[in-house]
Amino acid sequence: MIKKRSDNPYAPAPGEVSGEARRAGFKLDAQQAEALSRYLTLLLKWNRAMNLVGRADWPGVFRDLAADSLHLAEFLKELPLPEVPLTLDLGAGAGLPGIPLRVLWPRGDYVLVELREKRAIFLTQAVGALKLPRTFVLHGRAEASLAALPGFKLERERADVVLSRAFMPWPQLLPLAAELLAPGGTLVILANEAAPVEQGADMGAGFRLSGVREYPADGRSRYFWSLVLASA
């Protein structure tokens, strides 16, 4: 049974997390609510020492940051991805959107790439605490070989999906993503503005814009851009 309420402002009960999800238009099952509750509690505990996120209250973190992951899970389900995709999450930081995303979208192998050591340690703790399947933390640069990742059996030399949220400006991101993706792979950018070109247009570095999704986030509009890398 989902517990309804917690008296600790840093430790939301699963029922409280479910309530916020409903207000965002999503229904969580008990296991998902429990996992997100555990993640938010861990995030806010570490945040007091490491400043992982700017918000200090869990409802604010959920509405401003974690809710993106719920929308992103729905967006990824609609994309023509392989049945078992390999996904790279660049500049994973505090695990947003990656950690909540894996609770809702556990398909394939997912690699959280983070250069900063303390954040990589936090990500490792969070992945272990939530027992997220086939989810790995790579402490290093995005260009680093996945073969060096402990415990990760590399089946493909390049990824099927690359995710970026404020990793770097998109014009600089495209050449890097092109090196990381397999031909026909998909780059998903989380943005605060609509794409600068029409759907189907050339974005540069071999990418074309395949789709844009606008969604509400904490009273504002945000966007997902999906870009497909041209096949060889």
Distance CA 165, CA 112 (A): 12
3 state DSSP class of 129: helix
The predicted-structure confidence for 13-72, as pLDDT tens digits, reads as follows: 999 999 999 999 999 999 999 999 999 999 999 988 888 887 668 888 888 888 999 999
In the 8-state DSSP scheme, what is residue 121? Answer: H
The tokens for 167 are: 């990793």
Domain of residue 70, residue span: 14-229
Distance CA 116, CA 94 (A): 10
Longest CA pairwise span in the chain (Å): 56
The predicted-structure confidence for 156-192, as pLDDT tens digits, reads as follows: 678 999 999 989 999 999 999 999 999 999 999 999 9
Distance CA 227, CA 198 (A): 12
Residue type (1 letter), 87: T
Residue 195 lies in a domain: yes
Residue 7 lies in a domain: no
Say what the pLDDT of residue 84 is.
94
- Tell me the CATH number at 144: 3.40.50.150
Residue 1 lies in a domain: no
Half-sphere exposure of 6 (CA within 13 A, CB side): 20
Distance CA 65, CA 55 (A): 9
| Cβ 92 vs Cβ 113: under 8 Å | yes
Residue 4 lies in a domain: no
Distance CA 86, CA 210 (A): 19
